[in-house]
Structure 1
Amino acid sequence: MAANVDENVKALQEVRRREENASCVDCGKPDPDWASCALGVFLCLDCAKIHCSIPSINNVKSIRMDHWEEGQVEFLAQRGNAKAKARYEALVPAYYYRPVHTDCLVLREQWIRAKYEREEFMEPGKQSSYSNGLMEGILWKQGRDNRQYLPRRFLLLEREGCLKYFTKHDAKEPKMAIKIDTVNAMFQPEKTGHPNGLQITYLKDNKTRNIFLYHEDGKEIVDWFNAIRAVKFHYLKVAFPVACDQELKRRLTRNFLKEGYMEKTGPRQKESFKKRWFTLDHRRLMYFKDPLDAFAKGEVFVGSGENGYSVLEGLPDGTQGSFTWQYGITIVTPDRDYLFTCETEKDRQEWVAAFWHVIKQPMTPQEYAVEAYFKLKP
């Protein structure tokens, strides 16, 4: 009996060592140590927990801690992650967001449910809720001034290339019509305090505007997210006809490079440093009095190193403004230096790394135009 157990363990480890099984089938996390007896795939612990909540695929076991029968090991050997992806991800649209292990729970859960429970990507026509260029429904939107979430009707129209929302369900005219080419969307559960919290940003008069939304139903909010990506993808297909799908996908939605509190001083560098919430959205460094503010109090353009931008640890000698936090950062631009302080050395290192990530990249023609706008601002 013991010999059979040892043989099963050895065979299981051989299957697990295959290159196709070296990462979680659903989120790509390396070294998965769980497996599905229902699907014959290898999973990380977090995705295994999601599988356990879905009755049709809830037969999962630990590779290290559970006992494996010979037939179960043979099933894994015959299936594996590559075959499962070929079957369950056969028709994933180019614009559909495939979550990774660092993404929030609602994205990962709905990806798994879409694949195995709803089988959305196994035959054509099952993605109609977010793929036909038209989506309408009620989302809970945070008020700009009172911070209360109220139901608002949203309308996404590919033929007009815009996202609209209405303050009343039967209103004829929208409160706001947002051009889809300026829209970005990202999930922000921690920031909004809701597991399905979504942040939408867009440009208004070349300034960033934030909208915070949620829906109680995870499928509904993820469908909205992918519908926005779908409409934007089709818009970019027309705008950049020679660009490949992979290049267009990178332009659909993006997470902020870095967010968090820092202190800042004013342009004379003699004012007291004030605590602000900062968001680095590629070349736009924005600061807010509160993380959920609709508009930034100010924005700083972060260009490339070849155009005179750099970031330094520390503050210039003789800095006069009083500050509470001791870990300084100086952003050097062609026009002026910006001074910040961080609460910890870890925070400083993370911010410096994020700034260098941007500064090392050459600027595009569109970014030169944005830089020119920033220089013309009063």
Structure 2
Amino acid sequence: MSDRYQKFVLDLVQRPGNSNCADCLSPNVEYTSFNLGIFLCEACASIHRSLGVGISKVKSIKMDNWSEDQVKCMEACGNLKAREKFEQLVPTCYKRPRDKDPQVLREQWIRAKYERLEFMDPEKQTYLAGFKEGYLMKRGKDDKKFQRRRFVLSETDNTLKYYNKEDAREPKATLRLDEINAVIVPEKVGNPNAMQITFEQGSNTRSLFLQAETGKEIVDWFTSIRSAKLNRLTIAYPGATEAELAQNLTHSFLMEGWLSKTGPRQGDAFRRRWFTLERRKLMYYDDPMDAFPKGEIFIGHEDKQFAVRDGLPPGIKSQGFCFTLKTPDRHFHLSAEVLEDKTKWMQALESVISQPLSPQDSSSNFGIKQNKKAKRISVLNLVRH
């Protein structure tokens, strides 16, 4: 009898909306929460178990036995109906995680939906207030230690400020919300509740690395930044929809990882660097958590002599898995440590180069400053017109 019930559940998976995880849309559906009536991937199912059986009762589709009542619960609901209930009021600024996103984003999304019921009650969405004040641990630029700092976000003033001392009258730094990007980076920082903020400081890109005590706290800060930016864009561009504007609130890095590169002179040796591809900007660092990159490379379109080619030109001694990034000003000789990394980097760079410059790319003011290490390129105005 239980085999018949299991077959029925497998048939339910094929119904519209059920073949992808209810929370992260992964196509690998293997579990359910039978009291909620939803189908889940393994990763999301593990988070549901941590909620407790009072909220979510997890069951494997194939490995567990099924009862008639449990099957009826699944048949009566399903992923589409559950979303109508638990995602009634998801703000446009809230980042809906996908299966490749960091664990903290996925966990807080699930807890917000089923534990805190945030998307059924707008009063619980405190990150939409346009103002947020609190403490985060910030990594020092020079001493590399994380220290407790007071942060204040103001949508009205278009600022994110932080103070080195609790009683300080003047902030240590004031960042324009319009010009910052925020990315959740647990693996890079070695803390599950970590965020990186990047912004332009002079002609350089500056990074702040922040930690929070809880996952909810870091995601609330992340969402508060996105909410404030969206509200300001809505006023600035009244003809655009929120969905269009939401694409420009924050953006994850397209690629990150270790590569080796040669210097600009013939015969320069390969040196290992941490590379980050952020939209059309390729940056490289001595260390992944350096405040400033050693160099920045603007990645333009293929019709302007930008290209990626396998291998190295004659006369350059190969090291590892090599490829060449061609720009109008210089050819960069790069080497990955494994073939898979080389393939991913080439594909990521080619995807950028093949895309025509958007209006914000074309109208951006690219200030180029030559220093001893490399050209540093400042990219401004990343707002979609």
Q: Which residue is 2:114 aligned to?
A: 116
Q: 1:269 to 1:282 in 2, by over 3 A?
A: farther
Q: Distance in 1 between matches of 2:298 and 2:70?
A: 57
Matching of residue 169 in structure 1 with residue 163 in structure 2:
no
Counterparts of residues 37-52 of structure 1 (less than 5 Å): 37-52=34-49
Query: Map of 1:196-345 to 2, 5 A cutoff?
Result: 196-319=193-316, 325-345=319-339
Q: Report the CA distance between 1:181 and its aligned residue.
A: 1.2
Whichever residue aligns with residue 96 of structure 1, its letter is Y
The CA distance in 1 between the partners of 2:166 and 2:139, in whole Å, is: 16
Distance 1:73 1:176 in 2: 57
SS in 1 for 2:28: coil
Q: Residue 347 of structure 1 is aligned with which of 324, 341, 356?
A: 341
Shift of 1:263: 1.2
Number of the residue aligned with 2:381? none
Deviation of the 1:369 alpha carbon: 4.5
Looking at structure 2, the residues matched to 137 and 160 of structure 1 have their Cα atoms a distance apart, in angstroms, of: 17
Secondary structure in structure 1 of the residue aligned to 2:368: helix
Q: Is 301-310 or 286-295 further displaced after alignment?
A: 301-310
Write out per-residue CA displacement over residues 148-193 of structure 1, whole angstroms, 9 at most, x where no aligned residue. Answer: 1100000000001111100011111111110111111111111101
Tell me which of 339, 358, 364 is aligned to 2:358.
Answer: 364
Q: How do residues 24-43 of structure 1 correspond to structure 2 at under 5 angstroms?
A: 24-43=21-40
Q: Deviations over 1:56-83 (max 9, x none)?
A: 3231100001010011101110111111
Deviation sequence 1:227-274 (CA, Å, 0-9, x none): 010011112112222122222111111111111111112222332221
- Say if 1:36 and 1:57, in contact at 8 Å, map to a contact too: no
Q: Does the Cα contact within 8 Å between 1:301 and 1:374 map onto a contact in 2?
A: no
- Whether contact under 8 Å (1:301, 1:371) holds in the other structure is no
Residues 1:341 and 1:269: Cα distance change in structure 2 (over 3 Å): farther
CA contact (8 A) 1:303 1:371 kept: no
Using the TM superposition, give the Cα deviation of residue 308 of structure 1 relative to its aligned residue in structure 2, in angstroms: 1.6
1:266-320 deviations in whole A, cap 9, x for unaligned? 222332221111111111110101110000011011101122211111111112x
Unaligned runs of 5+ in 1: none
Matched position secondary structure for 2:17: helix
Q: Provide the rounded CA distance (Å) in 2 between the counterparts of 1:289 and 1:15.
A: 52
Match of 2:61 in 1: 63
For residues 102 and 234 of structure 1, the distance between their equivalents in structure 2, rounded to whole angstroms, comes to 27
Report the number of matched residues: 371
CA distance in 2 between counterparts of 1:217 and 1:96 reads 18
- Paired position in structure 2 for 1:5: 2
Q: Check the 8 A contact 2:203/2:369 in 1, yes or no.
A: no
Aligned letter for 2:273? R
Q: How far does residue 345 in structure 1 lie from its aligned partner after superposition?
A: 1.8
Superposed CA RMSD: 1.6
> How big is each residue's C-alpha offset from its partner over 1:80-118, in whole Å with a ceiling of 9 and x where there is no partner?
111110010000000011111111111111111111111
User: Is 1:137 aligned to 2:134, yes or no?
Assistant: yes
Describe the superposition over 1:108-132 as per-residue Cα deviations: whole angstroms up to 9, x where unpaired. 111111111110111332202x101
Q: CA deviation at 1:360?
A: 0.6
Shift of 1:14: 1.8
1:265–1:273 Cα contact (<8 Å) kept: yes
Q: Which amino acid aligns with 1:78?
A: A
- Separation (CA, whole Å) in 1 of partners of 2:212 and 2:248: 25
1:184-231 deviations in Å (ceiling 9; x for gaps): 111111110111111111111242110001112111111001001001
SS in 2 for 1:225: helix
| 3-state SS, counterpart of residue 21 of structure 1 | coil
- Stretch of structure 1 that moved more, 134-143 or 97-106: 97-106
Separation of aligned partners in 1, 2:335 and 2:205:
24
Q: Aligned equivalents of 1:217 and 1:77: distance in 2?
A: 36
**Aligned-partner residue type, residue 351 of structure 1:** W
Contact 1:138 1:153 in 2 (8 A): yes
2: distance between equivalents of 1:61 and 1:350?
Answer: 36
Q: Which position in structure 1 is the counterpart of 2:82?
A: 84
